[in-house]
């Protein structure tokens, strides 16, 4: 009884808090973010579906007018480029499916054998790579076409209705593409920065948890295993960042808004891509480092490891500062941020050099593969190089953007 009462109380609390969450969601929709993009997509999809329905039902008096609004909503994508690509693929898939039914129906008639043959052919063609995610629509279109073909009373009516399906799909796709292109076409310039922010913040959090423990010499097995597990979970965040940069670049293709925003967004997506690539390599190095730290417990000789751990903690603190700066990258303040990043990268290099000097002065077995010291020093070198490269990319991009307002390239440079 007590458990049931507690469960009921939890449900009531959740129900009471739901209106507040809804209000917060709509307040967030007032700024340029996921919520606003979602509302815009819903509104544009509704408009495109309504226009397609009116044309299909009231103007054309089509037998199956739902094909038009369904097609309009289906190809309403997050970028104009994807709308165009998916529209072409969808029209091709539908045309193939309807065509299969038309040809096989003409040869074999409206029988079960015809349906089986159409299904086999449609499912096989649907796996054709150029159709992409629209491959399944070949079979879907073929099934609807078979239903239309069977219900028709004459060959002329059958061919007319099959042709009408393709026309309705073309109308729906055309309306969807036009609405998505002309009415608030999605432009995702900032999604590249958001992807970098998320990934850099995750790296900063992980390293930020590691260096205080190293400074204090608290390398218990449970703690290092937790670091190792968190490092292994960085892969999905890396993929999300890569996808964000790709979406940002893709959103500019065939997008009329890019001309109006070009003067405001001068940093190249090539530069952001290089940053994400470098941070991806940093995540791999961190994963390797956490494995080495987790294996430190198995080391037989721990002579001098307390001083080494404290120095290594100081080194990681310098990397955490760089990651924190990267998590706040803003194109509008990129010049000042790039200078700060270069200074932070130089301090990290000094910490790494000092770490190596202390390790050699303490006669630590850096060349012994059975000990973690040499591996940790190698990881420190790689991490320093990757963060330095990341800072160089942003610095070079900021310098080019300042020199030429329409700069569109960013490569590697030197602080």
Q: What is the CATH number of the domain that holds 250?
A: 1.20.58.220
Give the global pTM: 0.63
Calpha distance 225→212 (Å, rounded): 16
Which whole number is the average pLDDT over 254-259?
Answer: 68
Summarised one tens digit per residue, pLDDT across range 129-160 is 999 889 999 999 999 999 888 888 787 888 88
Indicate whether 408 pLDDT > 60: no
Which whole number is the average pLDDT over 372-376?
Answer: 80
What local confidence, expressed as pLDDT, does residue 409 receive?
Answer: 38
Calpha distance 112→99 (Å, rounded): 18
Looking at 182, 211, 231, the residue that finishes a domain is: 182
* Structure tokens given for 340: 């700060």
Which whole number is the average pLDDT over 220-233?
Answer: 88
Asked if 127 and 203 sit in the same domain, the reply is no
DSSP secondary structure code for residue 154 in this structure: S
Q: Which helix (H) or strand (E) holds 244?
A: helix 234-250
CB 106 within 8 A of CB 68: no
Indicate whether 302 pLDDT > 50: no
Reported as a pLDDT band with limits 50, 70 and 90, residue 120 is very high
Calpha distance 161→90 (Å, rounded): 19
Which whole number is the average pLDDT over 223-237?
Answer: 90
Looking at 182, 212, 233, the residue that finishes a domain is: 182
Angle at 295 between CA 292 and CA 299, to 5 degrees: 115
Mapping DSSP to helix (H, G, I), strand (E, B) and coil, where does residue 408 land?
coil
Summarised one tens digit per residue, pLDDT across range 166-205 is 999 999 999 999 998 888 776 666 677 888 888 999 999 9
Q: How many domains does the chain have?
A: 2
Q: Domain residues for 275? A: 189-403
Angle at 13 between CA 9 and CA 17, to 5 degrees: 170
What local confidence, expressed as pLDDT, does residue 51 receive?
Answer: 96
- Identify whether 355 is part of a domain: yes
Asked if 173 and 210 sit in the same domain, the reply is no
- Identify whether 21 is part of a domain: no
């Amino acid at each position: 009884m007590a458990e049931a009462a507690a469960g009921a109380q939890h449900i009531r609390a959740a129900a009471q808090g739901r209106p507040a969450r809804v209000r917060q969601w709509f307040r967030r929709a007032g700024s340029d973010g996921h919520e606003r993009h979602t509302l815009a997509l819903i509104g544009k999809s509704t408009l495109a579906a309504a226009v397609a329905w009116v044309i299909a039902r009231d103007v054309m008096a089509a037998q199956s007018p739902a094909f038009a609004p369904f097609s309009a909503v289906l190809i309403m994508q997050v970028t104009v480029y994807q709308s165009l690509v998916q529209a072409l693929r969808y029209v091709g898939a539908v045309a193939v499916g309807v065509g299969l039914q038309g040809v096989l129906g003409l040869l074999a008639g409206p029988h079960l054998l015809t349906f089986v043959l159409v299904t086999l052919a449609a499912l096989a063609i649907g796996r054709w790579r150029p159709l992409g995610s629209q491959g399944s629509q070949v079979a879907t279109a073929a099934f609807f076409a078979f239903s239309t073909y069977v219900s028709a009373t004459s060959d002329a009516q059958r061919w007319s209705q099959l042709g009408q399906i393709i026309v309705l799909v073309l109308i729906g796709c055309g309306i969807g593409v036009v609405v998505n292109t002309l009415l608030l076409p999605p432009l995702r310039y900032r999604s590249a920065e958001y992807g970098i922010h998320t990934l850099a913040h995750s790296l900063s959090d992980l390293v930020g948890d590691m260096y205080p423990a190293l400074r204090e010499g608290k390398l218990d097995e449970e703690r290092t295993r937790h670091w190792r597990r968190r490092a292994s979970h960085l892969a999905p965040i890396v993929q999300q960042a890569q996808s964000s940069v790709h979406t940002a670049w893709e959103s500019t293709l065939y997008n009329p808004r890019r001309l109006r925003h070009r003067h405001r967004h001068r940093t190249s997506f090539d530069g952001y891509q290089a940053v994400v690539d470098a941070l991806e390599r940093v995540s791999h190095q961190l994963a390797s480092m956490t494995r080495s730290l987790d294996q430190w417990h198995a080391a037989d000789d721990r002579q001098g490891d307390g001083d080494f751990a404290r120095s290594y903690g100081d080194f990681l603190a310098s990397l955490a500062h760089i990651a924190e700066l990267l998590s706040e990258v803003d194109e509008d303040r990129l010049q000042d941020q790039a200078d700060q990043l270069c200074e932070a990268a130089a301090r990290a290099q000094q910490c790494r050099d000092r770490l190596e000097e202390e390790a050699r002065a303490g006669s630590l077995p850096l060349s012994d593969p059975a000990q973690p010291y040499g591996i940790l020093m190698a990881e420190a070198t790689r991490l320093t190089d990757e963060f330095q490269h990341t800072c160089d990319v942003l610095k070079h991009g900021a310098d080019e953007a300042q020199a030429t307002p329409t700069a569109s390239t960013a490569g590697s440079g030197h602080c």
